[in-house]
A = this chain, B = another copy of it.
Amino acid sequence: MTQIQDLADYATTLGRNARKASAALVRTGGQLRTQALLRMAAAIREQSATLQAANQKDLSAATANNLSAAMIDRLTLDGARVEKIAAAVEEVAAQADPVGEVVTGYVRPNGLRIQKVRVPLGVVAIIYEARPNVTSDAAALCLKSGNACILRGGKESFHTNIAIGSAISSALSSVGLDPNAVQLVETTDRALVPALLKLDEYIDVVIPRGGESLIRAVVKESTIPVIKHYTGNCHVYVHSRCDHAMAESIVLNAKLQRPGVCNAAETILFDAAVAGELVPRIGGKLVEAGCEVRGCEKTRALLPAAKAATEDDWRTEYLDRIVAMRVVDGLEAAVEHINRYGSRHTDAILTADLAAAEAFAQAVDAASVMVNCSTRFSDGGEYGLGAEIGISTDKLHARGPMGAADLTTYKYVVTGSGQIRT
């Protein structure tokens, strides 16, 4: 990797290059950006062998460093995965252009034409870990939305990321775009990150993707606005009036289909009216599937296999085959538990009762509220946004899964014929 002497200087150069590329990108039409994305996909395919060779370097280092099999699997880039990466870029290319959309437009009594027009944010920095596909996904979504980006991936996938970045640069150049529209950070030195996060003059928004500690570190250091989610402490509330078979199916899916991700369920709340039947039935299935249950006293009375839950359990994102369970006295108590302990990511109610569904959807303060479906659907792809740049549990700007349109802002364009204010 490149030896970089002065990190602050290098960070500033990245920022300045990105700002310059952004000023040009703002003036491009969607057609050129789409063409660049298609060239990106083609370049990734053409350079498949080069990408895999670079990936081998990362895999050798990973093996030498005793990374877990799961980590190595996430890191691995074979021919099929390269094809998937290229196809994802083409999917983004096929989406409608968010830039230039007239969000609202009207004429004022004095004849001024007011238009609120969607425009790129400018420069987006993304700080992420592990998976190489984030590099191409992030680059594609930023380019789609007319933003320049600075990508700082994890050191585990350094060589792979640089190789993907080089394929992207060649594609940008080939259509006459500034290759600095997508810049990969060419050092794994951790000290670069704080320097980058101070460049509020050049960078408009930072999106960290990874574990909670990475995200907290970014928020702490950054003088640039950050869009993020810390954790996904997701709940499923099994209401008194629910289809029992559906409840079993959804709870098992929400907890176990992929326990290591942010939209997996962590706490199941059983309404007292159905706990007697459903705690043993669903809890039993979870235990059978190798899931550890930590329950309140009432849960434990109904499911002897459950360990005692502490206050901490209500706040924990296990990301594992562990689940917390609590018996609650009705919808209000469920809402109170969720709004108190939840992380505002995704919470579900399972109910046949319309009023209960509506009250829950209104009162639960979360980016996504699910009614009669698994929390696992809280995802950009599942919402039809194409690739996702992240999931936000913030309330400002963007909430929930974020696609290309979430990387835009708007400006007012006001057109008159000589009006002055009196």
Partner-B contacts on A (CB < 8 A): 23, 26-27, 106, 108, 112, 114, 121-122, 204-205, 225, 227, 243, 246, 249-250, 252-254, 257, 339, 357, 359, 361-363, 365-374, 376-378, 382-384, 394-397, 399-401, 409-422
Contacts and interface: CB of A to CB of B under 8 A. Distances in A.
B395 A249 contact: no
Main SS at interface, chain A: mixed
Nearest to A394: B225
A368 B414 contact: yes
A415 B422 CA distance: 51
15 contacts: A112-B382, A114-B383, A204-B396, A249-B418, A252-B420, A257-B421, A361-B411, A368-B411, A369-B412, A373-B414, A373-B418, A377-B421, A383-B412, A399-B412, A401-B412
Given A373-B418, A418-B372, A419-B373, A378 B121 contact: no
Given A27-B363, A112-B382, A373-B419, 12 more contacts: A23-B363, A112-B373, A114-B383, A122-B395, A225-B395, A252-B420, A253-B421, A361-B411, A366-B411, A377-B419, A383-B414, A396-B397
B250 A420 contact: yes
Considering residues A26, A396, A401, which has the most beta carbons from chain B within 10 angstroms of its beta carbon?
A: A396
Contact of A413 (B249, B361, B382): B361
Nearest to A252: B420
Contacts of A227: 396
Nearest to A223: B219
